[in-house]
Amino acid sequence: MSMITIREVSAYVGQEVTIGVWMYNKRSSGKIQFLQLRDGTGTIQGVLVRNQVAPEIWDEAKLLTMESSLYVTGMIRQDDRAPSGFELDVTSVKTIQVAEEYPIAKKEHGTDFLMDHRHLWIRSARQAAILRVRAEIIRAIQMFLDQKGFTLVDPPILTPSSCEGTTNLFHTKYFDEDAYLSQSGQLYAEAAAMALNKVYSFGPTFRAEKSKTRRHLIEFWMIEPEMAFVDHEGNLEYQEQMLEFVAQSVLQNCQTELQTLERDISKLEKIKAPFPRITYDEAIELLHREGFDDIQWGEDFGAPHETKIAESFDKPVFITHYPTEIKSFYMKPDPKRPEVVLCADLIAPEGYGEIIGGSQRIDDPELLAERYEEHSLSKEAYAWYLDLRKYGTVPHSGFGLGLERTVAWICGLDHVRETIPFPRMLNRLYP
């Protein structure tokens, strides 16, 4: 008799197997108990017929409460009426633990209550499905980048200072020095690209912002590719190819999960390269045509602007060539028009906003030194970053994808708090 997981049942039809499971629901007539079982890899219905098992097995099953743990033994039967296509004709149950009354079982709970019980909430079908899609998105990104010759590098989390001021940074004492938690691994990834050509990082980043929106987490994960000898246009091509690969991988490997989430998969099927590109100038015009009087050339977009722009397209859209003034110090100005930079934000459809920001980087050491002055960056702290332009500077580009926003979009969620096992938000550090 084999010990298997629910994911594997299709290979064991007609065979007796044992599975370690939790019971998440039970229906019972006097003659049959229907046990809804989950093991974290899937769900299956166990059917227990009174006159086909010993009385003590029948009675033991009757005691099982929600989230009780057990080893269940039975024959796998193909059943096209079952949601998973299979059922288990139970021959034996061996209780591990009859669970105490499950706190998040019965009624509709408020978000705070569910977040306080996040360690249990993630067991629910919907939350578990989201976490599996998250893992598949990461897996697909890594596979895509691996196939394209990228090398994973892990930039430091503890950094001596930041390129964007310290107000939104978490501070810690690093022995006798001051250190801050990284907001981005990009600058370090640039150094690595000069050593390894195409690299990417995948790690946690931190913003100590007191904002409470459905798009923000305090602690979030970023994928940050950086590519030597790749220009602005090449940068966009990698991004759209990567997102197409991600969407197709999720469609192929997460069918059950997308069904659980009731995701409209026709929306995901449309995520195919190339993506439309509009310039910042065109985006401003579009907004003015649509009646947005609250934004002028030179100002950054807010969430309502991004949503309006995205509505004009059924794919993600690149907004390129933002004003130099409102973008980061390291972005390369357009040689033909230095008041804008060779950058793009990628705006997801359906109101999910910016999921990628990227640019070609400044490769001219003199221009970069000027930017240090303009942005009051410490020449000592960033001496190493300037070195990258002194010793064999090359055209190079990169981008950062916000994982949680991407998961929210692919899963069709209302809020990023469900996209990560244990979200960190304003007033939320537990569990």
Per residue in 25-41, is it b (16+ CB within 10 Å) or e — as a string?
A: ebeeeeeebbbbbbbee
Helices 232-253 and 125-147: crossing angle in degrees, nearest 10, is 140
Q: How far is the CB of 295 from Mg ion (least distance, A)?
A: 13
- Helix or strand holding residue 41 (H, E): none
184 binds, among Mg ion, a copy of itself, none (CB under 5 to 8 A by kind): none
For residue 378, how many other CB atoms are within 10 A of its CB?
11
Q: Which is nearer to a copy of itself, 107 or 173 (CB)?
A: 173
**Is 82 or 208 the residue whose CB approaches a copy of itself more closely?**
208
Contact between 34 and a copy of itself (CB under 8 A)?
Answer: no
User: How are beta strands 317-320 and 343-348 bridged, if at all?
Assistant: antiparallel
Q: According to the binding rule CB under 8 A, does residue 113 interact with a copy of itself?
A: no
Using the minimum distance from each CB to a copy of itself, give the nearer residue, 69 or 307. 69
| Shortest distance (Å) from residue 356 CB to a copy of itself | 19
According to CB under 8 A, which residues from 296 to 315 bind a copy of itself?
Answer: none
Q: Is 216 in the site for Mg ion (CB under 5 A)?
A: no
Site for a copy of itself, residues 153 to 212, rule: CB under 8 A: 153-160, 170-175, 177, 179, 181, 188, 191-198, 203-204, 206, 208, 210
83: left (phi over 0), alpha (psi -120 to 50) or beta: alpha
Look at the block and give the residue holding tokens 């939790």. Answer: 22
Of 44-52, 125-133, 310-318, 337-345, the window that binds a copy of itself (rule: CB under 8 A) is 125-133
Site for a copy of itself in 41-80 (CB under 8 A): 41, 67-69
Does position 149 interact with a copy of itself (CB under 8 A)? The reply is: yes
Which is nearest to 42 in space by CA: 92, 86, 89, 90?
86
Please give the DSSP secondary-structure letter assigned to residue 125. H
Residues 370-429 close enough to bind Mg ion by CB under 5 A: none
Contacted entry of a copy of itself, Mg ion, none for residue 344, CB cut-off 5 to 8 Å set by kind: none
**Only segment of 49-57, 138-146, 241-249, 344-352 that touches a copy of itself (CB under 8 A):** 138-146
Rounded to whole angstroms, what are the CA distances from 325 to 295, 329, 366, 429?
15, 9, 18, 36
Q: How distant, in Å, are the alpha carbons of 127, 305, 309 from that of 288?
A: 40, 10, 11
Q: Of the candidates 36, 40, 279, 295, which one interacts with a copy of itself according to CB under 8 A?
A: 40
Nearer Cβ to a copy of itself (118/327): 118
Q: Which does 354 bind (CB under 5 to 8 A by kind): Mg ion, a copy of itself, none?
A: Mg ion
Residues numbered 318 to 357 that lie near Mg ion (CB under 5 A) are 345, 354
Among the listed residues 330, 318, 393, 319, the one whose alpha carbon sits nearest the alpha carbon of residue 186: 330
The correct pick among 229, 233, 272, 300 for binding a copy of itself (CB under 8 A) is 229
Quick check: 353 and 303 in contact, CB under 8 A? yes
Strands of 175-249 (E only): list them.
177-181, 198-206, 219-228
Q: Which residues of the shown chain bind Mg ion in the complex (CB under 5 A)? A: 345, 354
